[in-house]
Each structure stands twice: as structure tokens, then as C-alpha cells.
Structure 1
Amino acid sequence: MSNGSSPSSPRRLRGAVAVTCTVLVPACVVGGLVWQSLGGDGARGGDGGPSSAGSRGTAEPGGPADGADGRPPGSAPPSGEPDAGKPLAGKVVVVDPGHNPGNRDHPREINASVDIGTNSKACDTTGTATNDGYAEAEFTLDVARRIRTILEKQGAEVRLTHDDDRPYGPCVDERAAIGNKADADAAVSVHADGSGAGNRGFHVILPGAVKEGGADTRAIVGPSRELGERIAGRFVRETGSEPSNYIGGGTGLDVRSDLGGLNLSEVPKVFVECGNMRDPQDAERLTSAEWRQSAARGIADGIALHLGAAAGKDF
């Protein structure tokens, strides 16, 4: 998704942080700064991967026959007690794969105007693509499915706004409505940018404070920022990507009030622009299945951390 407006002035990095690297990776210093400043918690979750959250409570080799509560390993917890192996049980997450591979075949439908509160916008767009033709819509669907798999293993109920199961769309207003109807604990829209070559890195778009027409984001601005900061920190950690060098002033965060998917949301929601498809260096990452798995882990881990913090837990 290309950037449609000039960025606002999000919070900048808070002071210098010393980071020691045993391998000479250019992103290490910058990534460490963003990770420290945006809520990446190095002491949490073991190696930071989703498996560390999902494996808590399993018996270690040579450990006691029963768990801490006296139950045999693997047995179900008493009714009403959370399962330590499913820390996100009871949580609902909506993942929105940006655009739709079929949008290009339905120009009339996706160009129809919908109300986003502050004004009207097109139902949707085709999204961007790499110079070699790898479509953003294909990328977002792949990453969204990977996020779903990771979070479901931790017990979350995950709903995709679409799963290549409709000819086009949904429109941006419907994408927000799906999260609202689900009363989601968190919603994340997955995208990739279409800026010029040389513009590199990821950024997370946060909702601005809007109260106009059918849009009122005031209640979700705070929790959405917390969600976005968690995701940004974990995205750096898992992917090695640097924050955008062209949006957000090095914070990896951007605040916008012109996106229907955010304006109409009633639940905490952010957009993640995973990289710039038009830059050759970013495109090399975005087209790698291994890197896309890392991106999915970063986003999923950020969601899990946000939900744990919101519930007063430590995943």
C-alpha cells in the first residue's frame, strides 16, 4: 500500500541505548534502538519466538511427574482455569490481509466510494507489487495465514477478513466492521508499501484521534499505540529489518487519520507496512518465504505481548 499522506510527528527514540553485536549486521544497532524504545522485551518469552509462549507449562525431561498444580502432564485444566500451553485462549484476533488478488479483475466494484467517517474513499485498491510482479495482495495473504497458524497454536481465535474466498474486497469499511462485529481483542492489517527505490524499512500505522461522521477512534488510540509499539519491537527482533527511512522519523511508527480501516475500527487496530516492494533490497526480503515467516512471527509475537500486557500477564 503506497503512502497516501505526509506522515505526522510520532514519538521519536528516547535516548541512546548501547547494543553489542557479535555478528556485523548493519541493522543491528538501529534495530536494537527501536526494539528497546518501542516495547521489545528482551527478557520475555525466551528467544522471542511464539513457540516460547506456547511451550510454557510443559514438563521438562527428568522433571516431576505432575505439574505445579498436581495434575498429570498433558491433562486438561479444571474448568475456568487457563491452559498454560494456550496462553491466548479466549482471545479473538482479526487479521486483515491487505487488498485481494482478485481486485484487479473488478475495477468497477473496488473503485466504488465508501464512507470512512472523515470523507469518502474507494472501496479498495489493487495494492502494489515488486518490479518482478509479486503482488502485495499475494504477500499479505501469505503472511496473514502464517500469523493465524502461530496465534492459533497459542489458543487464540483468529479470523481473517478474507482468505482468497471472495472475488474482490472486502471494502475498507467492511474490513473494519469484521473486527468490530467479532469484538476483537486486537486487529492487524498486513500490507507492503509501494514507494520509490531507496526508501526502505517497515513502519506501523497507528490510528489518529478522529471523531467525525461514523468514525470515532478516541477510545482505541491508546491501546492501538500499545499494540503497534509491541509489534514494531518484535518485528525488528524477528526480521532484522530497520524502521522506515522515509516515514516516521526513525521510530517505525506513523499516525494517520485518512484510512477507513482504522477510522471505522472500534477495537485496537494497526496497519503493518512490512517493507517497500519497489525497493530491490526490501523486495528480496518480501519475496522470501523464510523472511515472511519471520515477519509473521514478529507480528504474532507483538500481538501476544499486547494481549498479555492488557490482561496483566507475561507471555
Structure 2
Amino acid sequence: MGLVLCLAALTACDGGSSTKDGQAGGQTAQPPMAAPSGASTAPKEVRGTGSLKGKVIVIDPGHNGGNAKHPEIINRQVSIGNGRKACDTTGTATAAGYSEAAFTWDVSTRLSKLLRAKGAKVVLTRNNNTGVGPCITERAAIGNRAKADAAISVHADGGPASGHGFHVIEPLTVKGHNASMVPASRKLGKALRDAYRKDTGMPYSTYIGTDALDSRDDLGGLNLSTVPKVFVETGNMRNPGDAAKLSSASFRQRIAESFVTGLIEYFR
């Protein structure tokens, strides 16, 4: 997920997953996309059985490919309910230069195809990987306006290279903003965690959280959401082993499939 940015290097400098906001920056009001294209693998049946017909799922691909070129937009401070934070960040990248923004966009387009095949209505918070943003505030607002049944913010971490594994970030209550969605978000987080671990084999994070769960109140996308939402840090891009997995198209397809399984379990 996005850290406070190192614009020149396209890597995070906000202290790894412990301080980043994991949503993308201030793209000028791009409309949410309900039917994206771009995943190279055709939809297939996934492990979870059941329909998602009638469910509204918001997918929030962290960051955006054009963020680094527009610091004047993404550095703008916005209110996150209990303080202020940059509109967005550039995100992190692997040592080979595969950006988090490109990764999250690929996973999200794969996921959107699978979810539509299950009958869900899908809304994305950005339309491509060439723009800027939208701000973390708008990302939350898109889910709220859609009255989403569930929202997933897709990320990869920029933690210490010695650490590996994935974790799910769940919301803490921010008074006057997100209290009503916290219990459901925690249920969603556990369902996605369990499915992700089982379907991908990625281990729990060795450097943050407990049993791959971390609770935070410094992320605008969670603080301002009124619908169930979590961030999934799918692995550590700064760790060579995790980076190799996240750079694999077949592994990214498995990630998308695991999210569908987790959502089906969440709605049971």
C-alpha cells in the first residue's frame, strides 16, 4: 500500500506499512469504472461456491501510475477525519522496478472480471494506471456513494526487506465517521485473510500485525468509509521472495481468485 512518497525513486519512504495510507492520489475526479478491461486471464470458476448476484463490490486499486509526476496534486493535504494527510502517495516498487500502482491495477482488473462473472456489480475507484489519484477522501466517497456491500483496497507493502508475508488492515473507530462499519469490516478482513492464505500460500506477515491482521486509524480510506472496507497488503515488494511472487501474472490471478473466495465466505 502507498507510503508517504519518495517521488524520485517511486519507492515508499513513510516507514513501511506502519505509516502509509495505501490509496491513490488526486486524480481530477475520474468517474468510477464499473466494467474495466485489462486483465489478461479469462474469468474462471474459483474455489468458493455461490453467487454474488446483486452485491455491490468496490475495488480500490492503490495509487496510480501518474502520481509521481504530479506532486502538486498528491502532496495536497486533506482531512481524514482525525487529522490531515497527503492526498495520495506514489506507492512502493520491487527492486526490479515493478510498481505497486501497476500491480494493484492488474490485480483489480482481474478481480473485477471474476466478480462480474459471479453476478456482482463492480465499481473501481480509478479507470486506468496512467492518471493521478483520486485522493484518499474521494476513494472512500466512491464506496459510500455506491452503497457498497464490501470494499477492498488492493495494495502491496514496502516494508523491511528482511520481512515477508501479507497482512490485512482493518479500521479502528474514528468518532463521527466510520463507527457503524467497523464490525463488518473486521468480519470482511478475516474472511479475506483466510481465503488469501489458503488459496495463495502466502504466509502471514513476519514484521507487522498479529495473525496477519493490523488495526489502524490513520488511513483516510478507512476512516471516512461508511461501508465495510479493508486494505489487503498482499506481500512485501521490498522482499525478494515476495517480489518474485507479486511479479508473476499467474500469482496475481491466484490473488484475484482468493479475494472472490473470501467475499463469498463473507456474505454467507
Write the deviation string for residues 51-80 of structure 1: whole angstroms up to 9, x where unpaired. Answer: 3556x6xxxxxxxxxxxxxxxxxxxxxxxx
Report the Cα offset of residue 195 of structure 1.
1.0
Report the Cα offset of residue 299 of structure 1.
1.4
Distance 1:161 1:202, change over 3 A: same
- Identity among equivalent pairs (%): 51
Distance 1:240 1:165, change over 3 A: closer
Contact 1:50 1:300 in 2 (8 A): no
What TM-score does the superposition give when structure 1 sets the normalisation length?
A: 0.71
1:137 to 92, 97, 101: 101
C-alpha separation between the residues in 2 aligned to 1:166 and 1:208?
32
SS state of the match for residue 60, structure 2? strand
Task: Give the aligned residue type for 1:216.
Answer: H
Report the Cα offset of residue 4 of structure 1.
3.4
C-alpha separation between the residues in 1 aligned to 2:205 and 2:129?
32
1:273 matches 2:233: yes
Residue number in structure 1 paired with 2:17 = 3
- State the number of aligned residues: 231
Contact 1:141 1:163 in 2 (8 A): no
Residue number in structure 2 paired with 1:14 = none
Report the Cα offset of residue 253 of structure 1.
0.5
1:197 matches 2:211: no
Contact 2:101 2:129 in 1 (8 A): no
Contact 1:217 1:264 in 2 (8 A): yes
Distance 1:264 1:224, change over 3 A: same
Residue number in structure 2 paired with 1:301 = 261
Mapping of residues 39-54 of structure 1, within 5 Å: 50-53=45-48
C-alpha separation between the residues in 2 aligned to 1:52 and 1:254?
26
Which blocks of at least 5 consecutive residues in structure 1 are unaligned? Answer: 7-48, 57-86, 310-315
Report the Cα offset of residue 5 of structure 1.
4.0
What TM-score does the superposition give when structure 2 sets the normalisation length?
A: 0.83
SS state of the match for residue 220, structure 1? helix
Over the residues paired in the alignment, what is the CA RMSD in angstroms?
Answer: 1.6
Distance 1:275 1:53, change over 3 A: closer
2:202 to 228, 241, 244: 241
Residue number in structure 2 paired with 1:181 = 145
1:154 to 97, 118, 137: 118
Residue number in structure 1 paired with 2:244 = 284
C-alpha separation between the residues in 2 aligned to 1:164 and 1:136?
14
Task: Give the aligned residue type for 1:51.
Answer: V
Task: Give the aligned residue type for 1:242.
Answer: P
Contact 2:105 2:129 in 1 (8 A): no
SS state of the match for residue 235, structure 2? strand
Task: Give the aligned residue type for 1:217.
Answer: N
Task: Give the aligned residue type for 1:232.
Answer: R
Write the deviation string for residues 126-185 of structure 1: whole angstroms up to 9, x where unpaired. Answer: 000001100000000000111111111000001110121762000000000000000000
Residue number in structure 2 paired with 1:225 = 186
Q: Which has the larger radius of gyration?
A: 1
C-alpha separation between the residues in 2 aligned to 1:192 and 1:167?
19
Write the deviation string for residues 255-282 of structure 1: whole angstroms up to 9, x where unpaired. Answer: 0000000000000000000000000010
Contact 1:115 1:121 in 2 (8 A): yes
C-alpha separation between the residues in 1 aligned to 2:250 and 2:89?
27
Report the Cα offset of residue 304 of structure 1.
1.9
1:124 matches 2:67: no
Report the Cα offset of residue 205 of structure 1.
0.2
C-alpha separation between the residues in 1 aligned to 2:129 and 2:157?
24
Residue number in structure 1 paired with 2:52 = 88
Contact 1:50 1:301 in 2 (8 A): no
Task: Give the aligned residue type for 1:3.
Answer: S
